[in-house]
Amino acid sequence: HVQLVESGGGSVQAGGSLKLSCAASGRTDRQYCMAWFRQGPGKDREGVANLNSDGSTTYSDSVRGRFTISRDNAKNTLYLQMNSLKPEDTAMYYCAADQRDFCPTNTWHVQATFDYWGQGTQVTVS
């Protein structure tokens, strides 16, 4: 198992930036497909970015070009750099992991794909 803890959320004005972190502990010696999801008020949880074990990434259309997912293997930490934030980016952001080398192409954005979740960190853009 792996445990995930997010941090870095907060309130920011439109056009601003935030960087979220997700610290992993436990069985970090295994390969995981990693992802960031978000859930806005009254909305379903949606995938915004994923990172495969080979470093390849995928982004949702709504954040492509503005958000960047990355990791620091030495620190067992996943990041989400969010630039040019918009009010519609307001949501609880979650880190997710699934034990496989590559996130599934067609279902990486689906909540049920992932077994491990953090508790979330709130991002509010006004």
Give the per-residue pLDDT at 28.
80
Helix, strand or coil, per DSSP, at residue 8: coil
CA–CA dist 110, 32 (Å, integer): 16
33 CB-contact burial (10 Å; exposed 0-12 / middle 13-18 / buried 19+): buried
**For residue 72, which of 5, 22, 19 has the smallest C-alpha distance?**
22
CA–CA dist 62, 75 (Å, integer): 29
Farthest-apart Cα atoms in the chain, separation: 40
| Residues 93-105: tens digit of each pLDDT | 999 999 988 999 8
Beta bridge partners of 126: none
Tell me what the pLDDT averaged over the chain comes to: 95
**For residue 34, which of 65, 64, 79, 67 has the smallest C-alpha distance?**
79
Q: Residues 125, 13: contact at Cβ < 8 Å? A: yes
CA–CA dist 122, 39 (Å, integer): 10
| Residues 5-46: tens digit of each pLDDT | 999 999 999 999 999 999 999 888 788 999 999 999 999 999
| Residues 48-102: tens digit of each pLDDT | 999 998 999 999 999 999 999 999 999 999 999 999 999 999 999 999 999 988 9
